[in-house]
Amino acid sequence: MKRLAKWRLVSLFAMIALVLSGCGKPFVSTLMPAGEVADMQYDLMKLSTLIMVGVIIVVMIIFVLVFVRYRRKDDKTIPKQVEGSHKLEIIWTVVPILLLLILAVPTVASTFKLADVDQMDKKNTKALVINVRSHLYWWDFEYPSKKIVTSQELVVPTNEKVYFNLKSMDVKHSFWIPAVGGKLDTNTDNINKFWLEFDDKRANEAGNLFYGKCAELCGPGHALMDFKVKAISRDKFDAWVTAMQDVKEPQKATGALASQGQEIFNKSCIGCHAVTPANKMPETARIAPNLSNFGERSRVAAVLDHNKKEVKNWIKNPEAYKPGNLMTGKYPEMSDEQLDALAEYLMSLKVQE
């Protein structure tokens, strides 16, 4: 019986190890840092783990030595009673203080470095600043200096500092790109600022697509409140910005089916969704994801595969894929033909080819 319990425990640990081994992917792993911030945070993790493991090893060695060496057998005498030892007390006070200092100095130094956002607040700053807005359960990214907005997929240049203003439009969320840095809360009543840097080499290994997450329990759809980060070279980034800026009017749909889809969209969906990337649009056009470059996304609603079938599934019943999301029930039910047309239209929304 006992042996069986032991084996259960062993197999449980083996399974956990197996599951956790799946986490070691360059696009999502904190343990594969992909930029300056992630590097700093990883170094701090390593340092504190090293110190903790060191303490455990020393304590365990002393514990076992004392256990073996001073074990009593038939001896009934009472040992010599000692009240306090200056030497020992000094040792076990000074050693932890030293260990904490070793931990504190780099931690405080990194904390200030990570919070240094002077560059973004300078007038006429050259630094790239992105305003992030979190919503139940999706993300909105505005590039104020470029006058464009996009949603669900953040696009950033690699190998330079990118600065973020973080804000929430409803409840508290938290902005986290596990491989690159974070988490920082997005609040409703103040703006949190920080910077990240995306390493070019790591981005390549990750297929230029990092995973982002909401890291603050915010409701039933929280676990599905993902976003993606396209980290590309500065040249490619500039090309993307230009392509986004070039979309002036709602893009003309090509083909009969897509045009039909556009018509339906303009009737039933445009009240919530914008299809132009300009950030001069009214606030009411920003209560749902901006779909200007929806055809270039890698996911539908952040969680479904990016194809027409899933687009139709999503429009038919969003609640089934993201519980509690705010697209539910405020537009008419669509027939299969209408869904086909809508999917065709949405997938054709591209700014780059």
Q: For binding to ligand HEC (CB under 6 A), which residues are involved?
A: 137-138, 151-152, 221, 265, 268-269, 271-273, 288-289, 294, 297, 300-302, 311, 314-315, 322, 325-327, 330-331, 342, 346
Please say which residue, 203 or 349, places its beta carbon nearer to ligand HEC. Answer: 349
Preceding omega of 183 cis (within 30 degrees of 0)? yes
Residue 117, both tokens: 């956002």
Site stretch for Cu ion (CB under 5 A), options 210-218, 246-254, 280-288, 307-315: 210-218
Q: Answer with the entry of Cu ion, ligand HEC, none that 214 interacts with (C-beta below 5 to 8 A by kind).
A: Cu ion
Closest to Cu ion by CB, 225 or 291: 225
**Residue closer to ligand HEC, measured from CB, 177 or 264:** 264
The token pair that represents 213 in the structure block: 């997450």
Q: Which of 261, 271, 277 is nearest to 351 (CA)?
A: 277
Nearest residue (CB) to Cu ion, 222 versus 230: 222
Q: Supply the minimum distance, in Å, between the C-beta of residue 275 and ligand HEC.
A: 10
Both tokens assigned to 245: 């800026």
Residue 268, CA distances (Å) to 158, 214, 255, 263, 271 in order? 38, 29, 20, 9, 7
Residue 167's binding partner out of ligand HEC, Cu ion, none, with CB under 5 to 8 Å set by partner kind: none
CB atoms within 10 A of CB 265: 21
Q: Considering beta carbons, is residue 180 or 224 the nearer one to Cu ion?
A: 224
343: left (phi over 0), alpha (psi -120 to 50) or beta: alpha
From the list ligand HEC, Cu ion, none, pick the one residue 270 interacts with, judged by a Cβ distance below 5 to 8 Å according to partner type.
Answer: none
Do 233 and 156 touch, CB atoms closer than 8 A? no
- Residue 331 touches which of ligand HEC, Cu ion, none (Cβ within 5-8 Å per kind): ligand HEC
Residue 214 touches Cu ion, criterion: CB under 5 A: yes
| Partner whose binding site includes residue 241, from ligand HEC, Cu ion, none (CB under 5 to 8 Å by kind) | none
Q: State yes or no: residue 213 binds Cu ion (CB under 5 A).
A: no
Instruction: Quote the Cα angle for 308-251-318, to 5°.
Output: 35
Round to whole Å and give the CA distance between 144 and 149.
8
**What residues numbered 169-188 form the site for Cu ion, per CB under 5 A?**
173
The neighbour count for residue 173, using CB atoms within 10 Å, is 31
Nearer to ligand HEC, 117 or 225 (CB): 225
Decide: helix, strand or coil at residue 167.
strand
Please state the closest distance from residue 222 (CB atom) to Cu ion, in A: 4
Q: Which of the choices Cu ion, ligand HEC, none does residue 218 contact, using the CB cut-off of 5 to 8 A by kind?
A: Cu ion
Separation of alpha carbons 117 and 164, rounded Å: 9
Residue recorded with tokens 């997450």: 213
Find the binder of Cu ion among 218, 232, 311, 351 (CB under 5 A): 218
Shortest distance in whole angstroms from residue 164 CB to ligand HEC: 20
What is the distance between the alpha carbons of residues 184 and 186, in angstroms, rounded to a whole number? 7
Binding site for Cu ion (CB under 5 A): 173, 214, 218, 222, 225
